[in-house]
Structure 1
Amino acid sequence: MKKLLFFLLTSSLIIAQNLQTPFENGNGNQSTTYEDCIAYYKTLASLFNTIQIEEMGLTDSGEPLHIVTFSQNTSFDYYQNKAVILINNGIHPGEPDGIDATMMYFRDLATAKIKVPKNTIIVTIPVYNIGGSLNRNSHSRANQNGPEEYGFRGNARNYDLNRDFIKSDSKNSRSFQEIFHLVNPDMFIDNHVSNGADYQYTFTCIATQHERLGGKLGEFYKNEMHPSIMKDLKKKKIESVPYVNVHGDKPDDGFAQFMDSPRYATGYTTLFNSLGSVPETHMLKPYKDRVHVTYEYMVSTVNYVDANYQKIKKLKSENLKNYKVGMKYPLQWEIDSSKVSKIEFKGYKGDYKPSEISGKNRLYYDKKQPFTKKIPFYNDYKATKEVVIPEYYVVSKSQWPILDLLKLNAIEMKALSNDTIIEVESYKITAYETSRYSYEGHYGHYNTKVSKSIEKIAFRKGDFLIKTQQKGVKYLLETLEPEAIDSYFNWNFFDPILQQKEYFSAYVFEDLAKAFLDKNPTIKAEFDAKKQTDKAFAENGTAQLDWVYKHSPYYEKAHLQYPVYRIK
């Protein structure tokens, strides 16, 4: 028995020595290629029965995503009585710290070089943006100190995938959502590298906004879990600070917690009550140091989750109680400036001097003048727009683009078995603004406003009744409520309703308008009153005729009519 144990230990040591990653075999400033990364995980899976690699859905590059899973008991059932952590790497392949760190981490778990979690299954997407990873270069990250080569931010179709989680224009996003609902993570980590201000820290982190997590789960993450993980990093002599959300200015005056709306990775995962974090190593620190702190953050996070998995899973399950029918749900947020804390910040003195390019003042940081001082930190947001949670949404079967996304996100839907008249709450789009510039393939809307009415609508067999009381309740509210920041409406899914399909020839409609007003004295009185109070209207014959048209039965009902309905 002793000989067998000695043999197994010796074999593990030999394997560990031969399993150096491309990063470890380099000079500390080199990152693996996509091909070498996948080959490395396949080698691990062939050597250790605790590791499994699977090919998943396609990406825009034409290559499939992979997931690699570590399970201490060699069972790869994601619905055991264990926590699940999903680690995403290379969403921005110019920020490859997590790619290299996670390869070493899985190797060290398999060889038991580090503490092996018994209550947690760990899953990673080795490289999410495969197209960007294959587009290797040395110059696209002008602000970054290494590695020598890296991938490009845009994917194979030039989408920034960390803006695509709700709209899902890319195959990457659609395949991610399949993976996410397959593994059902309790914790999600999305590894990044920062842009922005300069300071002393190598490691910063976005902890997903606790108000958006909601209830006791959000408070637990803010007050217990995240501080405990940061405290463990400090024991390893890794100083940290919240992600420095300052660009083009000095952070000395304080800054706010980053609000991760559902377009972002952790904003999306929060909709299903998964705790989320975005490690952001500092772009100007040496690559070797950045990989190291990313690795240690994952170790600390997994160890915390493993020790507290039952509490985390319980809070996650109970969090759905905060989203019952009749309750209010926040759709829009702003910083709550009445709640401000002071955090210790280790920075560099920032100042301005004439630019040698333009002669105008430019910002610079003096590394010879480091400082440590307390600065304001705004970690709380307040709702500025809320909606009452309905019991159901009703969506016509004709709206197949959004129905496909709902199905992809495991939303339960029931098709009507017969043509049915249902009393519903109906929205009319009353105002919206549209971006002047293209953003991730869209000219998106914002400042959307609606009016509401109660109507009886005839729905057809096969239209869908969608109950809100299910796991994806927050996903439904964030996508189907048009006033939500990242709603399907604001991402242009319903733009056909913004265009009138029929109109009138004035010389024909003049007589129809006169006959309509004569038969409808109440509307005529409203029309006359508007002419009395609105001088511009009174002087504009075209506007008057248009007003009558829009109050007549000739005006098409579909114009500005939001085609998703609510049942209270």
Structure 2
Amino acid sequence: MKKNLLIGLLIISLFSAYGQQNKWLTPYEKGNMNQTSTYQEAIDFYAALDKQFETVKMTEMGQTDSGEPLYLLIFNPDKDFDLNKKQSKAVLLINNNIHPGEPDGVDASMQLFRDLVLQKIPIPKNTIVAMIPFYNVGGTLNRNSFSRANQNGPESYGFRGNSRNFDLNRDFIKSDTKNARSFAEIFHLVNPDVFIDNHVSNGADYQYVFTYIQTQHQKLGNDIGNYLKNEMTPKIRKQLLKKKIESIPYVTVYGATPEKGFTQMMDLPRYSTGYASLFHTIGYMPETHMLKKYEDRVKVTYEFMLETILHTDANYLKIKDLRIKNQYQFKPKSLYTLQWKIDSTKVDQIEFLGFESGYKKSDISGKERLFYDQNKPFKKQIPYYQFYKPHKHVEIPTAYLIPKSWWNVIDLLKLNKVEMIQLKKDTLIEVEKYKIADYKTGTSAYEGHYQHFNTTVHKSIEIIAFKKGDFFIPTQQFAVKYLLETLEPEAPDSFFNWNFFDAILQQKEGYSAYVFEDLAAEILKNNPILKEQFEKKKAEEKSFSENGSAQLDWIYKNSQYYESSHLTYPVYRVLN
């Protein structure tokens, strides 16, 4: 009788466990493993987790361009979800569906959070796991089956552009979208030590299901960058290999084959991991391979997130300490690299699992076309370039000064938690002033902008009258890298290059030549030094000597009548 009772209790227990497990199957698991959960299915799933389990919380966090909110999921076995206070634990933030045609992270994250609350996997003791289930909500809701022409599943998915057709993974600096502004609020609330942004690749064919972009270690910072490159990533890859998951850095070749080698991506601040690195955060961008089965892609995304959580948990004190110390690497009067170039003299040979490739006649054009033969896999050593050298640098100032009139820039600095002090009275301050010397502008629209590039400046030291309420911004703060990358006009993703200051590029006043001719002659007569410079320029430059309009314009721009605001960059550097 007692034995039968025990058997009965065991059967009930097993059925209960099965029922609990079955209750929390995701739509992806209930389907054919080639279907991604819809927006509403996932939000309902997370809301149910939040309702039943005390270790997970879902919060509405900010608006998106489509009108729907961003949600933030937090898992903490200690049931403490107050991120406004200083955390003793590490924090790992996951971002999904920035490109909704690449939804692997959506389904992998639903399983991950389910397994965390059900304690089916090791529970991190020293790490809080936070996650944005859908970042590009508008693109997620724009569901179709055809916009990812090169991708093998799932059956339907969202669209890359958001509801205003912005690629959100180009918007982290310029913040044209509500999504980006809400993300910044989340990012600085969470203050992640490690960040994962899940993607699917484009490009060459090869054997790997899983590739990854990691923050470029030199750009991240010396000690924390070396830790990422030499310790963290190799250990995570080793754990993945134990699960028979081969991995390799993201294969950055397009329209070519990888055998000749490839370079590590320099993740500019416009991208999510590049943005995260400005705040000393280790960033990973998983890039599963577009041609592999969706089920396999979801699995490796899950395993990478899990192994990264476990590594962070085991090394949380070291990672947090490296982040704090990293800001002090960037001190006033030291040099900061604004632009990098690949160092082709430093090359590693890495093992690569690829497919034989070749060319054959196209059925469409009759011309030669590239193809990969998946029946001919190979393993060979190829060159990998992961070191960059400084191409352009700047001396870090003690502080920046920005007139209060440039509120559009000030608002973004505030959004990104930059520490600023407003002047309490009108003040004369000696500063280094930039004059825009040259720049080029793209001829095609790029993410809502005609972006500038190849910007150069002239520098001068002047005493300038600043007004009460203007902003004094010291560089010795946690956001030092953000300041340098956005406020230095020669940086690729500077606010200048993203058109924030285009108003200074246009003259607002001018002259009528027939009137100014007599005045110009008077100016030269009364200014012998200017006249000497003028005559020298005519003697040395034939095109100038033969162009009367150019000569008149030169005199105007070297006179007191020329507006000082033209080409004057309204962000000033305090050097002492």
- Is the structural similarity TM-score above 0.5? yes
> Residue 47 of structure 1 corresponds to which residue in structure 2?
52
Aligned residue for 2:321, secondary structure, equals helix
Output the CA distance in 2 between the equivalents of 1:392 and 1:83. 30
How much has 1:14 moved relative to structure 2?
3.1
1:182 to 167, 184, 189: 189
Query: What code does the residue aligned with 2:506 have?
Result: Q
> Residue 128 of structure 2 corresponds to which residue in structure 1?
121
1:69 to 63, 74, 83: 74
1:200 and 2:207 are equivalent in the alignment: yes
Paired residues of 1:391 and 1:467 also in contact (CA < 8 A): yes
> Residue 59 of structure 1 corresponds to which residue in structure 2?
64
Output the CA distance in 2 between the equivalents of 1:474 and 1:483. 14
1:24 and 2:13 are equivalent in the alignment: no
Aligned residue for 2:394, secondary structure, equals strand
How much has 1:77 moved relative to structure 2?
2.9
In the TM superposition, 1:140-155 aligns within 5 A as 140-155=147-162
How much has 1:7 moved relative to structure 2?
9.5
1:214 and 2:221 are equivalent in the alignment: yes
1:372 and 2:379 are equivalent in the alignment: yes
Aligned residue for 1:397, secondary structure, equals coil
> Residue 432 of structure 2 corresponds to which residue in structure 1?
425
Paired residues of 1:331 and 1:386 also in contact (CA < 8 A): yes
Change (3 A) 1:489 1:356: same
Paired residues of 1:331 and 1:385 also in contact (CA < 8 A): yes
Aligned residue for 1:356, secondary structure, equals coil
> Residue 412 of structure 1 corresponds to which residue in structure 2?
419
In the TM superposition, 1:48-447 aligns within 5 A as 48-78=53-83, 79-447=86-454
- Identity level (%): 61
How much has 1:201 moved relative to structure 2?
0.3
Change (3 A) 1:468 1:5: farther
Paired residues of 1:23 and 1:30 also in contact (CA < 8 A): yes
Per-residue displacement from partner, 1:421-451 (whole Å, max 9, x unpaired)?
A: 1110000000000000000000000000001
Output the CA distance in 2 between the equivalents of 1:316 and 1:16. 39
Output the CA distance in 2 between the equivalents of 1:60 and 1:149. 22
Output the CA distance in 2 between the equivalents of 1:8 and 1:355. 62
How much has 1:212 moved relative to structure 2?
1.0
How much has 1:359 moved relative to structure 2?
1.4
How much has 1:15 moved relative to structure 2?
2.2
How much has 1:566 moved relative to structure 2?
0.5
Output the CA distance in 2 between the equivalents of 1:144 and 1:557. 54
How much has 1:112 moved relative to structure 2?
0.5
Per-residue displacement from partner, 1:381-405 (whole Å, max 9, x unpaired)?
A: 1111111111110001000101000
How much has 1:324 moved relative to structure 2?
1.0
Alignment TM-score, normalising by the size of structure 2: 0.97
Aligned residue for 1:117, secondary structure, equals coil
Per-residue displacement from partner, 1:80-122 (whole Å, max 9, x unpaired)?
A: 2100000000000000000000000000000000111010000
User: Is there any run of 5+ residues in structure 1 with no aligned partner, and where?
Assistant: none
How much has 1:350 moved relative to structure 2?
1.1
> Residue 499 of structure 1 corresponds to which residue in structure 2?
506
Per-residue displacement from partner, 1:133-184 (whole Å, max 9, x unpaired)?
A: 0000000000000000000000000000000000000000000000000010
Name whichever of 73-82 and 59-68 sits farther off: 73-82
Output the CA distance in 2 between the equivalents of 1:100 and 1:12. 22
Aligned residue for 2:150, secondary structure, equals coil
Change (3 A) 1:126 1:8: farther
Number of equivalences? 566
Output the CA distance in 2 between the equivalents of 1:350 and 1:487. 40
Q: CA RMSD in A?
A: 1.4
> Residue 565 of structure 1 corresponds to which residue in structure 2?
572
Change (3 A) 1:6 1:66: farther
Query: What code does the residue aligned with 1:234 have?
Result: L
1:489 and 2:529 are equivalent in the alignment: no
Change (3 A) 1:52 1:4: farther
Output the CA distance in 1 between the equivalents of 2:22 and 2:377. 40
Per-residue displacement from partner, 1:228-272 (whole Å, max 9, x unpaired)?
A: 101110010000110000111111100000110000000000000
Paired residues of 1:12 and 1:111 also in contact (CA < 8 A): no
Change (3 A) 1:156 1:5: farther
How much has 1:358 moved relative to structure 2?
1.2
Query: What code does the residue aligned with 1:431 have?
Result: D
Aligned residue for 2:61, secondary structure, equals strand
Aligned residue for 1:127, secondary structure, equals coil
Change (3 A) 1:142 1:208: same
Alignment TM-score, normalising by the size of structure 1: 0.98
Output the CA distance in 1 between the equivalents of 2:287 and 2:12. 41
Output the CA distance in 2 between the equivalents of 1:139 and 1:86. 30
How much has 1:299 moved relative to structure 2?
0.7
User: Is there any run of 5+ residues in structure 2 with no aligned partner, and where?
Assistant: 1-7
> Residue 14 of structure 1 corresponds to which residue in structure 2?
19
